[in-house]
A = this chain, B = another copy of it.
Amino acid sequence: MNDDIKNVLAQRKESERKKRINQILSAARKLFLKKGYEQTTIRDICRESRLSNGAVFFYFKSKAEIYAHIYEECLRKLVDFINTQYSRNMSSKKRIETGLRTYVRFYQEHTQEMNILDISYQTLSISEQIISRFDQLIIEAFKPLHDAVGDYLEEQGLSKKFDPLELSILLVTSIDGLIYNHRQQFFKSILKDTPLSLERMVGTQIDIFLQALK
């Protein structure tokens, strides 16, 4: 009996705890996504989460740690987003296409999350442990495409001529470049009236790639 009560109380406490943490992370997420790391202050987070300064530092030991949580969330979201798109019986060609298009779609549908991911977490003072978790997630996000390119090269009998790692990085990287320029708008002046659609450009990039490796 007593144990039951204890248990219930412990559960309530734990849920209370999670609620607070969520309060803080929600506030932080909203602010970091909107204003970025530097422009968001701890006080902003306190105000937004309706918690005191001390409370925030009770649950997280630094601003960077809060950021790391949000970063990991975004990264995980990306991984999940990508993974749900693949199906086992897709052709390698189809998987390459899906991978790249999904990446772009993630940027379009979750621009703020993508902006968070844009910041190199290597500059923040984050524990090694968390960083290696990030690295793991990045590998996870990258693997499907890497595999697909490997399979494709095999099928085309080109695996001796090309390195699948190099080619897959090249592909992802070219999408990064598209996203980067879309964000920074460096070509705004050149494209004045007719902004090229990201989808179309990704398509072209895929076409070129597949055409060249036939």
List A residues 77-121 near B (Cβ within 8 Å): 118, 120
Binary interface encoding of chain A residues 181-214 relative to chain B, with 1 for a CB under 8 A from any of its CBs, else 0? 1011111111100001000110011011101110
Interfacial chain B residues near A181, Cβ < 8 Å: 169, 172-173, 176
| Shortest beta-carbon distance from A63 to chain B in Å | 15
Q: Is the CB of A174 within 8 A of B205?
A: yes
Main secondary structure of the interface of A (DSSP, over half): helix
| Shortest beta-carbon distance from A202 to chain B in Å | 9
Whose C-beta in chain B lies nearest to the C-beta of A201? B170
Assembly of this chain: how many copies? 4
Binary interface encoding of chain A residues 147-168 relative to chain B, with 1 for a CB under 8 A from any of its CBs, else 0? 0000000000000001001110
Q: Which of B120, B177, B186, B196 contacts A166 (CB 8 A)?
A: B196
Bound-complex Cα distance A135 to B190 (A): 8
Q: Is the CB of A173 within 8 A of B166?
A: no
Interfacial chain B residues near A180, Cβ < 8 Å: 173, 176-177, 180
Q: Which of B139, B204, B211 contacts A189 (CB 8 A)?
A: B139
Q: Which of B118, B139, B196 contacts A169 (CB 8 A)?
A: B196
Interfacial chain B residues near A33, Cβ < 8 Å: none
Interfacial chain B residues near A185, Cβ < 8 Å: 120, 122
Bound-complex Cα distance A174 to B174 (A): 4
| Shortest beta-carbon distance from A111 to chain B in Å | 14
Q: What are 5 A-B contacts defined by CB distance under 8 Å?
A: A122-B184, A169-B196, A170-B178, A173-B181, A175-B177
